[in-house]
């Protein structure tokens, strides 16, 4: 809902849209709701949430709808977008512009990475990302963090193992960023071939000063009795969590094990044909002393990666984790609708260096929303680093290198490796995919005679 002072609505598209203080305040609201739901049972009367689900969902959609109804609000739901105008070829931008007039908040799940960011751009009401491809799933992360806080009393300093398909699990990406921000220690135990994507690793490294280091998932089983071999820890006391050499640290216990299913629907042909069995967590895998007090989390649904023999185990909290999704999402909806004041400052505006592209550099991520919505959406990038020259898609966050850069002031273009690139002012940077592209746009190679003539 646009706020009463006319300012832009708040959205929850990435976990970075909330500060740590805001997250903790939302958890306090969720605590109060759990203690007495009746206090808020009419709070959202007259407001409507629209759930737009372009991908299957049980928990996320139903818990959002339950949350809105428990706040006294209404729900309109397109649970299967194949039965909507999307099937006729309607663009995402048009759909959210229209649905934003029918509802006060939009909850969207979409197979394309960056889709929720597109929805945020075109809707005039708050947008909540309920999962965009394998990119992010921030409200699942709030449920996961909330469960850790309830079970362990806090998040900072916890030792958390992330296990399974770390490549395509969007829940893992948002969760890893949040754990890093709250100062938890992370152990990555990926299924071989399904390690954290490089853009997640880079972001952990550059934005949270976290140095990732992965261990093969099979080690979880075989190394379990001497689990020291899988630990990553903060390097300096006041630094955010940092993965370092696992052998350096002697961890006594693990606080949490977060298991994810193989995200087969996102696999390439080659990945689908890999025969390696997916790691399975069962009682035997958790028999070591270091797992004595480990809570087992899973965003669900599970396939075979989490044995049913753990369901009655007191360490298993995945069904509680799912149940807590309702009060957490009640807090989120109430906040975005302006019904709760958190009394905390919003995140400082991030001002990444936005780059202009001439001649269209395509995002290297084939599942990026820019490929699917190209009739109105142009690729946009932010500068990550100049050496090496690395750009990040403004929609899906994937990073890539660019071969050529131009300066809109001198109208020269330079190879990315050129020392001159560092001297171009950010507002003058222009990206090119090829020399031909640069020349067609009227740029000349730096140092050539024609460029010299222009100086
Ligand atoms: C997750 C998702 O959709 O990303 N499910 C959920 O929201 N609870 C995890 C998954 O599908 O594996």
Angstrom distance (rounded) from CA 174 to CA 135: 8
Higher pLDDT, 152 or 78: 152
What are the tokens at 285?
A: 């895998």
Q: Is the pLDDT of residue 240 over 50?
A: no
- The residue whose CB lies within 8 Å of the most ligand 1 atoms, and thus the one to mutate among 174, 191, 300, is 300
Tokens of residue 328, six digits:
């957490």
Predicted confidence band at 212 (pLDDT cuts at 50, 70, 90)? Answer: low
More confident of the two residues 231 and 101: 101
Mutational pocket test of ligand 1: of 15, 60, 163, the residue with most ligand atoms within 8 Å of the beta carbon: 60
Q: How high does pLDDT run on average in the chain?
A: 86
* Spacing of C-alpha 434 from chain mean position: 32
pLDDT in tens, 57-70: 999 999 999 999 99
Does a structural domain hold residue 173? yes
Looking from the CA of residue 261, the nearest atom of ligand 1 is: 12
Same domain, 104 and 153: no
For a ligand 1 pocket test, name from 59, 108, 131 the mutation site with the most ligand atoms within 8 angstroms of its C-beta.
131
Per-residue pLDDT band at 246 (split at 50, 70, 90): very low
**Ligand 1 center to residue 207 CA distance, Å?**
25
Does the structure show a pLDDT above 50 at 31?
A: yes
Residues 251 and 359 in one domain: no
Ligand 1 atom index nearest CA of 322:
8
Residue 55 alpha carbon, nearest atom of ligand 1: 3
* Residue 432 placed within a domain: yes
Considering the domain architecture, whether residues 216 and 95 belong to the same structural domain is answered as no
CA distance 237 to 235: 7
- 42 burial (CB, 10 Å; 0-12 / 13-18 / 19+) is exposed
Whether 65 is in a domain gets the answer yes
Tally of structural domains, the chain: 3
CA 171 to ligand 1 center in whole angstroms: 7
The SS3 call for residue 93 is helix
63 lines ligand 1 (CB under 6 A): no
User: What was the pLDDT predicted at 420?
Assistant: 85
Which comes out higher in pLDDT, residue 418 or 393? Answer: 393
The CATH number of residue 399's host domain is 2.30.30.20
Within 8 A by CB and 6+ apart from 325, the residues are: 59, 60, 63, 67, 139, 140, 143
pLDDT at 203: 86
Does 426 share its domain with 297?
A: no
Give the per-residue pLDDT at 383. 87
The neighbouring-strand residues paired with 77 are: 51
User: Within a domain: residue 243?
Assistant: yes
One domain, residues 145 and 205 = yes
Per-residue pLDDT band for 233 (boundaries 50, 70, 90) equals very low
State in Å: Cα 438 to ligand 1 middle. Answer: 43
170 pLDDT more than 60 = yes
Higher confidence at residue 356 or residue 25? 25
Whether residues 292 and 437 share a domain: the answer is: no
User: Are 315 and 376 found together in one domain?
Assistant: no
One DSSP character per residue, 34-51 reads HH-GGGGTTTTTT-EEEE
Tell me the average pLDDT across 378-407.
89
Determine the atom of ligand 1 nearest the C-alpha atom of 137.
4
For residue 48, give both structure tokens.
Answer: 């409507």
User: Is residue 100 domain-resident?
Assistant: yes
Q: Is any atom of ligand 1 closer than 6 Å to the C-beta of 60?
A: yes
253 CA to middle of ligand 1, Å? 27
Percentage of the chain surpassing pLDDT 70? 87
Distances in Å between the Cα of 143 and the Cα atoms of 10, 55, 146, 220, 444 are 19, 20, 5, 25, 53
pLDDT tens profile 342-391: 999 999 877 677 787 766 689 999 999 999 999 999 899 998 888 788 89
Q: How far does the centroid of ligand 1 lie from the alpha carbon of residue 88, in Å? A: 27
Residues 117, 164 within the same domain: no
Does the beta carbon of 137 sit less than 6 angstroms from any atom of ligand 1? yes
Tell me the average pLDDT across 175-202: 90
Cβ distance 291 to 189 under 8 Å? no
312 and 376 both lie in a single domain:
no
Tell whether 288 is covered by a domain. yes
Instruction: Using the 3D structure, point to which of 279, 308, 336 is the last residue of a domain.
Output: 336
Question: The dihedral of CA 169, 382, 118, 8: what is its sign?
Answer: positive
Kindly state the percentage of the chain with pLDDT values over 90. 61
Identify the band that residue 98 occupies on the pLDDT scale cut at 50, 70 and 90.
very high
Q: Are 248 and 287 within one domain?
A: yes
Other CB atoms within a 10 A radius of the CB of residue 46 amount to 9
DSSP assignment string, 273-329: T--PPPP-B-TGGG-SGGGTTPEEE--S--SSSB-GGGTTSTTB-HHHHHHTHHHHH
Domain annotation covers residue 345: no
**Please, is 68 exposed, middle or buried when counting C-beta atoms within 10 Å of its C-beta (0-12, 13-18, 19+)?**
buried
For ligand 1, whether the C-beta of 59 sits within 6 Å is: yes
Closest-CA residue, ligand 1 atom 1, reads: 299
- Testing ligand 1's pocket by substitution, the residue of 115, 144, 171 carrying the most ligand atoms inside 8 A of its CB is 171
Most confident by average pLDDT, 35-39, 192-196, 211-215: 35-39
Structure-block tokens of residue 294: 């480990």
pLDDT at 223 over 80: no
Determine, yes or no, domain membership for 204.
yes
User: What integer pLDDT is reported at residue 358 of this predicted model?
Assistant: 66
Q: Are 252 and 358 part of one and the same domain?
A: no
If you compute the radius of gyration of the chain from its CA atoms, what whole number of angstroms results? Answer: 23
Cα-to-centroid distance, 169 and ligand 1 (Å): 8
In which domain, by residue range, is 77 found?
Answer: 15-134+325-336
Is residue 296 scored above 70 in pLDDT?
yes
Residues 6+ apart with CB under 8 A from 76: 48, 49, 50, 51, 99, 102, 103
Q: Which residue has the higher pLDDT, 213 or 62?
A: 62
Contacts of 322 (CB under 8 A, 6+ apart): 59, 63, 143, 300
Query: How close is the Cα of 299 to the center of ligand 1, in Å?
Result: 6
| Same domain, yes or no: 205 and 290 | yes
In this structure, what CATH number is given to the domain that contains residue 198? 3.40.50.1370
Whether ligand 1 lies within 6 angstroms of the CB of 131 is answered as yes
């Amino acid at each position: 809902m646009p706020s009463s002072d006319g300012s832009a609505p708040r959205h929850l598209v990435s976990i970075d849209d909330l500060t740590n203080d805001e997250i903790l305040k939302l958890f306090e609201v969720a605590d109060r709701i759990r203690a007495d739901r009746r206090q808020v049972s009419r709070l959202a009367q007259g407001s409507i949430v629209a759930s737009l689900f372009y991908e299957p969902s049980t928990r996320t959609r139903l818990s959002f709808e339950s949350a809105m109804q428990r706040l006294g609000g209404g729900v309109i739901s397109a649970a299967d977008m194949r039965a909507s105008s999307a099937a006729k070829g309607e663009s995402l931008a048009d759909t959210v512009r229209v649905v934003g007039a029918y509802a006060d908040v939009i909850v969207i799940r979409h197979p394309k990475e960056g889709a929720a960011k597109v929805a945020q751009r075109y809707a005039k009401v708050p947008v909540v990302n309920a999962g965009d491809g394998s990119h992010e799933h921030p409200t699942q992360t709030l449920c996961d963090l909330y469960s850790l806080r309830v079970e362990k009393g806090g998040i900072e300093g916890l030792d958390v193992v992330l296990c399974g398909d770390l490549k395509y699990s969007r829940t893992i990406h948002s969760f890893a960023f949040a754990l890093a921000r709250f100062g938890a220690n992370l152990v990555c135990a990926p299924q071989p071939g399904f390690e954290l994507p490089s853009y997640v690793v880079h972001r952990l490294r550059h934005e949270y000063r976290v140095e990732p280091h992965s261990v093969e998932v099979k080690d979880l089983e075989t190394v379990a009795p001497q689990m020291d071999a899988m630990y990553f820890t903060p390097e300096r006391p006041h630094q955010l969590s940092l993965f370092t050499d696992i052998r350096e640290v002697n961890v006594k216990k693990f606080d949490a094990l977060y298991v994810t299913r193989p995200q087969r629907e996102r696999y390439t042909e080659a990945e689908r044909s890999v025969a390696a069995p997916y790691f399975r967590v069962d009682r035997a895998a958790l028999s070591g002393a270091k797992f004595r007090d480990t809570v087992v989390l899973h965003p669900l649904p599970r396939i075979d990666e989490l044995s049913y023999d753990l369901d009655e185990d007191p360490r298993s909290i995945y069904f509680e984790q799912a149940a807590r999704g309702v009060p957490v999402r009640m807090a989120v909806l109430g906040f975005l609708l302006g019904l709760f004041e958190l009394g905390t400052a919003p995140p400082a505006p991030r001002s990444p260096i936005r780059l202009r592209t001439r001649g269209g550099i395509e995002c290297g991520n084939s599942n990026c929303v820019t490929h699917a919505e190209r009739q109105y959406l142009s690729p946009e990038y932010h500068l990550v680093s100049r050496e090496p020259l690395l750009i990040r898609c403004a929609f899906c966050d994937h990073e890539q290198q660019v071969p050529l850069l131009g300066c809109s002031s001198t109208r020269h273009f330079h190879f990315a490796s050129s020392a001159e690139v560092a001297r171009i002012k950010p507002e003058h940077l222009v990206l090119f995919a090829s020399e031909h592209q640069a020349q067609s746009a009227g740029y000349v190679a730096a140092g050539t005679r024609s460029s010299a003539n222009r100086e």
